[in-house]
Amino acid sequence: MNSKRILLNGFSMNCVSHIQQGLWVRDDTRQVEYCTLDPWLELAQILEKGCFDALFLADVVGLYDAYLGGPETSIREGMQVPVNDPALLIPAMATVTEHLGFAFTSSVLQTPPFTFARQISTLDHLTKGRIAWNIVTSYLPNAGASLGYGGLPSHKERYERANEYLEVAYKLWEGSWEESAVLKNKEKGIYADPRKVHPINHSGTYYQCEGPHLSEPSLQRTPLLFQAGSSTDGRAFAAKHAECIFIVTSRRNLSGVQNIVSDIQTQAKKSGRSPDDLRFFQGLSPVVGGTEKEALAKEEEYLQQISTDASLAHLSGSLGIDLGNINPDKPLESFDSQAMQGVVKSMIESRPPGTRTFRDLIRAQMAGQFLTGTPEQIADNLETWSDAGVDGFNLVYSTTPGSFVDFVEGVVPELQKRGRVQRAYTPGTLREKLFGQPRLSERHPAASYRRS
């Protein structure tokens, strides 16, 4: 019997409509209250009650404007716009929780690494080591245009930037302040030893940074590192840098997830890392019912209310093509885009060549990865995913906090009974809870910047 602990993250975004587009109009969801603190505090407490490992906050810094040639559909439907900064929610949620981790998304295009490193260290201090960073490279052309790049850099350049961005951040977090630099010596009036605080003097292709890091070392120094790319470049980047990898593949065919896990683990081993250094999280949207009939009726109600236009606007922006004008029966192999390539790559790999079409992709995305059933049925499915190589799940809501309440009250007790999820938190930082150590592994490239 497999006893591997299943990891659980709530998945949300500081906006009106995140993944299940159009459901914000329902009376049983707090999505339109996203600009106030109360629903976020409530959500954090619900997740901690359910012994979730973290709340994962998605983000984008541009408009989805590919569908029908403009952003009008996204704006009208509240489809990831308006959207607020996810990081600013975290200190408030940390005050009403003790153990819950907080993973937030930030693009390497949006903030200089010197500034971002200080923001991370500040959050890690305030939360006592509960911070994770979801590293993204952006995929919306409007993001590149709005951030001053004159358009979106190529897919290849974005990952080149990301690799150098991480190098600068590692130097700041791991190498700038020695372990014994902070003295807090009140008798001598010496807070820190200047001989043990070092500039980094980074001079690269994209970034120049003298340093030193402005923050003293936090409990984790480098935050727990998430990454959500599954393209060829994204997988190589994950194998080098990531500790936790967010994937979304079809729940009806496990070969896709097995291919991704195996590929990234193999690449990680070639770079001197161990498969034990990685955790894989699958995205799923649970629909829980007291009976199977009740759960299916709830799913059907959601499907009837999901906005087709908003869903197509979301997918069009993700793929970088206008699905308002595309032949839905065109093979996915014809796809060529600089946007979110991993979504298509994963779907192509899950079936024989030439058998997957854009219609399949649209249906899969609009279904939102629903996992529907009784607590026992959903627990069975999660165990199947776990046995296939997935370590945990990013759980997508249909209504918030209702979807999470249903899962915490129904599925979590069933998984606890089976010994598959934790009944209580272990002490320590977020990385300690997931990997058993507070700092990055010595096998990680960041370790090379540490000072003895």
Give the confidence band of 363 by pLDDT, cuts at 50, 70, 90: low
Residue 301 has which token pair? Answer: 């109600």
Residue 62 has which token pair? Answer: 């541009």
- Rounded Cα distance between 188 and 373, Å, is 65
Flag the least confident range among 79-83, 225-229, 322-326, 411-415: 322-326
- Rounded Cα distance between 179 and 170, Å, is 15
pLDDT at 319: 82
pLDDT at 360: 65
Kindly tell me the sign of the dihedral angle through the C-alpha atoms of 100, 302, 318, 331.
positive
Cis (ω within 30 of 0) for the bond into 212? yes
Is pLDDT at 191 greater than 80 in this prediction?
A: yes
Q: Residue type at 278?
A: L
Flag the least confident range among 111-125, 204-218, 361-375: 361-375
Average pLDDT over residues 249-272: 86
pLDDT at 86: 98
- Rounded Cα distance between 354 and 331, Å, is 6
- Rounded Cα distance between 386 and 388, Å, is 5
DSSP letter string, 109-150: TTS-HHHHHHHHHHHHHHTTS-EEEEEE----HHHHHHTTSS
Q: Which tens digit of pLDDT belongs to each residue from 135-151?
A: 999 999 999 999 999 99
Q: Classify each residue of 166-195 as buried b or exposed e, where b means 16 or more C-beta atoms within 10 Å of its C-beta.
A: bbbbbbbbbbbbbeebbeeeeeeeeebeee
Q: Residue type at 411?
A: V
Kindly tell me the sign of the dihedral angle through the C-alpha atoms of 412, 418, 424, 429.
negative
Is pLDDT at 386 greater than 70 in this prediction?
A: yes
- Rounded Cα distance between 129 and 172, Å, is 17
pLDDT at 340: 45
User: Is residue 121 within 8 Å of residue 133, measured between CB atoms?
Assistant: no
User: Is residue 59 within 8 Å of residue 104, measured between CB atoms?
Assistant: yes
Q: Where are the alpha helices (DSSP H) in 279-387?
A: 292-305, 308-319, 341-349, 358-366, 375-387
User: Is residue 70 within 8 Å of residue 102, measured between CB atoms?
Assistant: no
Average pLDDT over residues 326-349: 57
Other Cβ atoms less than 10 A from the Cβ of 253: the count is 13
Give the confidence band of 105 by pLDDT, cuts at 50, 70, 90: very high
Please tell me whether residue 283 adopts helix, strand or coil conformation.
strand
CA distances from 259 to 8, 44, 144 (A): 22, 33, 31
User: Is residue 152 within 8 Å of residue 140, measured between CB atoms?
Assistant: yes
pLDDT at 321: 83
Is pLDDT at 353 greater than 70 in this prediction?
A: no
Angle at 104 between CA 79 and CA 33, to 5 degrees: 45
Is pLDDT at 131 greater than 90 in this prediction?
A: yes
Report which listed range, 252-261, 310-319, 440-449, is most confident: 440-449
pLDDT at 5: 97
Contacts of 13 (CB under 8 A, 6+ apart): 57, 58, 59, 80, 83, 86
Q: Which tens digit of pLDDT belongs to each residue from 87-100?
A: 999 999 999 999 99
User: What rounded mean pLDDT belongs to the chain?
Assistant: 92
Q: Which residues pair with 357 in a beta bridge?
A: 331
Is pLDDT at 348 greater than 80 in this prediction?
A: no
Average pLDDT over residues 57-80: 97
Contacts of 128 (CB under 8 A, 6+ apart): 219, 429
Give the confidence band of 355 by pLDDT, cuts at 50, 70, 90: low
Average pLDDT over residues 233-248: 94
| Cα 365 off chain centre by | 17
Q: Which tens digit of pLDDT belongs to each residue from 200-225?
A: 999 999 999 999 999 999 999 999 99
Going along the chain from its start, the domains and CATH numbers come out as: 7-449 (3.20.20.30)
pLDDT at 251: 67
User: Is residue 244 within 8 Å of residue 224, measured between CB atoms?
Assistant: yes
Is pLDDT at 358 greater than 70 in this prediction?
A: no
